[in-house]
Structure 1
Amino acid sequence: MAKAGSILITGANGGLGSSIVSRVVSSGLGSRYHGIYTVRTPKGAEPVRASIEKCNRRRPQHTYDFVNLDLSSLDSTRACARDINGRVADGSLPRIRALVLNAGYQESTTLEFSDDGFDMTFQVNFLSHFLFTLMVLQSMDKEKGRVMVVGSWSHDDPRNKVGPVSEAFKGMDTLFSTTEALARGTWSTPQEDPTLCSGFRRYGASKLCELLFMHELAARLAKDPELSNITIAGLDPGAMSTGLLRRGSWFMTTIGAPLLRIGAVATTYFSPNGMFRTTDKSAADALRASFDVEGEKGKALYFNGSELCDTSAEARDEAKRGMLWTDSVGYAQIKAGDTALAHWQ
């Protein structure tokens, strides 16, 4: 049976990513849509592949491909996007109905840089997703396509002012001053602050960049005569116990993460859209935001779990959106012909 389109998920082998894949396969989406699941290395695909095949043995229905995408490399990002575009163009892959920008990276007391010279958190969470999205727009379903950004409350909302994370944002009115400071890792360094707060601030700033991009892309798509029906949504999935925490402190990785995993079951039951959630709950919310909610041209929808909400005022700041976009076009070396978006400059 011909598929209605493809679901493309970055970071498909991560905690949330693998839960989204499981939801796709076990739901009606699995039979209707082809899966394009990106992983950093072929080895990373095996647990997810085994899970898919277990479901397919009971009820063969879901076709899928794993593709290699290392978001710490702009060259890898370009190569992956070109491969997908080529396969959609020749008909071997269905057009992309939902692009889920899920892959993430978080540090605590370290500061790593990519071979491209960027802060790893900035590049993996934002810059490579920026490049990848602009390139694969040509392969989107131009009538029903949706880009879904996995955001985070760490980008700046009231939850940053309570609990153990409050120290990270104490006295701060903004996370974005210049793109260069975030891109080159000169803001919130471990040398300035050797605590866990330095890395968490950079993570929050990278998520802010994703949401600035989300709003700006929605506005630019609305003006595009060919792509204006593609809509944008974002999701705050809450705090989850996933591999994203593996670069945290000893306490977080050995004690905190298991406690969070257990506690999230109870907190999700009593407060489904509260601070702590299971990956299964957030996976359901991700697919709902990708498929079940009607989009609006020129406006990005943002959800806190299953509830429609607003991003921070900073994420909607038009001047910062424009600055980030212009700088990122330069960082990613985007040129004419790299994207189908008419107003990409």
Structure 2
Amino acid sequence: MGSKGTIIVTGANGGLGSAIVQNILGTPDLASNYTGVYAVRKVATAAQLQAALSRAPSNHKHEAVDLDLGSVEDVRKVATDINAKVAKGELPKIRALILNAGYQDHTDIVISKDGFEMSWQVNFLSNLILALLLLQSMDEQEGRILVIGSWAHNIDDKRNDVMTAYKDPRYTTLYPGVDALAKGEWSRPEEDPTTNSGFRRYGASKLCVIMLEELANRIAKDPKLSNISLIDLDPGGMPTGIARRGGFLLSFVVMKLVLPTVANVSVWMSPNGMLRTARKSAADVIRACFELEAHRGEALHLDGSATGLEIAKEAKDEAKRKEVWEYGLKAAHIEEGDTVLVDWK
């Protein structure tokens, strides 16, 4: 029996990413009927992914690929390679493009070789590139593009009240302008040496992710691509490696000792509460891609398994969305012929 489609998962070696892979492998229909393409920064050192794949069913077709999301050139190359394989019939059409990979700094700031703040580049720009370039290889009837959101994108979300990052009167918005975000000129460590500076930049990058509503709107008007759904899903706070740059207390004590137990209890009491397990959020991702009825015409905003997530007011601003879109196109060097989306300019 031929494969029903390809499932691409970025960040497949991380806490949520490896849990998504495990969910795929543990679901007979997905494992046996779909081809997996699992993207990580470096396959050779992707221990969690390798451990998961070592237990893969013998009939699960898959490949692991190196993908440096901090490099525009590398992201474009990987997308081009995947498109070539689909065109040759070496890979089936993409049924689910799960843009899971994430990056967060804390007290430091990293600028990529492309000149962009790393949270913005990894969390937003690389996702934009992959989505635009891989549209030509998507299943035009049932394809789903899923991006990982976060309540951190919405400065008015009450869940942010447990932290102090958004209480500083110097930062009353997460959108000081896309150029400032992209170049790392806002919420810098020298302005605020605490972990709050990095958290704000992370939240701002996720705001740009939610602004991919612009992509959903353009897909909806496309004569060939309008059946493709775009979904953003807030997975909640999870004990993963996203905080590995946050120092010993946060990265080890909180994330590895305290949060795993608390998250298990939290999910039992409130499945879509602030804290969740990676296993639960991975199941929500797979459900959104394969079980929910297709949501076309606009982006579907999910809070775990719950619908109706309230997005930030900036994400609803059409002018700001267009500004981020146009800036992203230039940063990604998108030119005529790079994407099959008709209305991309």
Per the normalisation by structure 2, the TM-score is 0.95
Q: In the alignment, is the contact (CA less than 8 A) between 1:161 and 1:170 conserved in 2?
A: no
Separation in structure 2 between the aligned mates of residue 320 and residue 254 of structure 1, nearest angstrom: 38
Please report how far the alpha carbon of residue 39 of structure 1 lies from its aligned counterpart in structure 2 after TM superposition: 0.7
What's the counterpart of residue 174 of structure 1? 173
What's the counterpart of residue 49 of structure 2? 48
What's the counterpart of residue 292 of structure 1? 291
What's the counterpart of residue 208 of structure 1? 207
Separation in structure 2 between the aligned mates of residue 218 and residue 168 of structure 1, nearest angstrom: 29
Deviations 1:236-256 (CA, angstroms, capped at 9, x unpaired): 000011111100132102211
Separation in structure 2 between the aligned mates of residue 46 and residue 256 of structure 1, nearest angstrom: 22
Unaligned regions of 5+ residues in structure 1, if any? none
CA RMSD of aligned residues (A): 1.3
> Which region of structure 1 is more displaced relative to structure 2, 16-25 or 259-268?
259-268
Q: In the alignment, is the contact (CA less than 8 A) between 2:159 and 2:274 conserved in 1?
A: no
State the identity %. 47
Deviations 1:158-192 (CA, angstroms, capped at 9, x unpaired): 234421x2343444542113110000000000011
What's the counterpart of residue 223 of structure 2? 225
Please report how far the alpha carbon of residue 46 of structure 1 lies from its aligned counterpart in structure 2 after TM superposition: 4.4
Q: Is residue 4 from structure 1 mapped to residue 11 from structure 2 by the alignment?
A: no
Q: Is residue 152 from structure 1 mapped to residue 150 from structure 2 by the alignment?
A: yes
Greater helix content = 1
Q: In the alignment, is the contact (CA less than 8 A) between 2:165 and 2:199 conserved in 1?
A: no
Separation in structure 1 between the aligned mates of residue 317 and residue 52 of structure 2, nearest angstrom: 42
Q: How many residues align?
A: 340
Q: In the alignment, is the contact (CA less than 8 A) between 2:153 and 2:312 conserved in 1?
A: yes
What's the counterpart of residue 318 of structure 2? 318
Q: In the alignment, is the contact (CA less than 8 A) between 2:99 and 2:148 conserved in 1?
A: yes
SS, match of residue 166 in structure 1? coil
Q: In the alignment, is the contact (CA less than 8 A) between 2:216 and 2:298 conserved in 1?
A: yes
SS, match of residue 200 in structure 1? helix
**1:126-165 correspondence to structure 2 within 5 Å:** 126-156=124-154, 157-163=156-162, 165=163
Deviations 1:57-114 (CA, angstroms, capped at 9, x unpaired): xxx2311011111000001001100000000000000110000110000011000010
What's the counterpart of residue 67 of structure 2? 69
Separation in structure 1 between the aligned mates of residue 51 and residue 195 of structure 2, nearest angstrom: 35
What's the counterpart of residue 18 of structure 1? 18
Q: Is residue 265 from structure 1 mapped to residue 257 from structure 2 by the alignment?
A: no
Please report how far the alpha carbon of residue 205 of structure 1 lies from its aligned counterpart in structure 2 after TM superposition: 0.3
> Which region of structure 1 is more displaced relative to structure 2, 289-298 or 128-137?
289-298
Paired amino acid for 2:315: A
What's the counterpart of residue 107 of structure 2? 109
Paired amino acid for 2:16: L
SS, match of residue 343 in structure 1? coil
Q: In the alignment, is the contact (CA less than 8 A) between 1:234 and 1:302 conserved in 2?
A: yes
What's the counterpart of residue 233 of structure 2? 235
SS, match of residue 201 in structure 1? helix
Separation in structure 1 between the aligned mates of residue 325 and residue 62 of structure 2, nearest angstrom: 32
Per the normalisation by structure 1, the TM-score is 0.95
Please report how far the alpha carbon of residue 30 of structure 1 lies from its aligned counterpart in structure 2 after TM superposition: 1.2
Q: In the alignment, is the contact (CA less than 8 A) between 2:14 and 2:48 conserved in 1?
A: no
Q: 1:127 to 1:16 in 2, by over 3 A?
A: same
What's the counterpart of residue 187 of structure 1? 186
Q: In the alignment, is the contact (CA less than 8 A) between 1:239 and 1:276 conserved in 2?
A: yes
Separation in structure 1 between the aligned mates of residue 181 and residue 153 of structure 2, nearest angstrom: 13
Separation in structure 1 between the aligned mates of residue 159 and residue 184 of structure 2, nearest angstrom: 21
Q: Is residue 38 from structure 1 mapped to residue 76 from structure 2 by the alignment?
A: no
Q: 1:287 to 1:210 in 2, by over 3 A?
A: same
SS, match of residue 117 in structure 1? coil
What's the counterpart of residue 337 of structure 1? 337
What's the counterpart of residue 276 of structure 1? 275
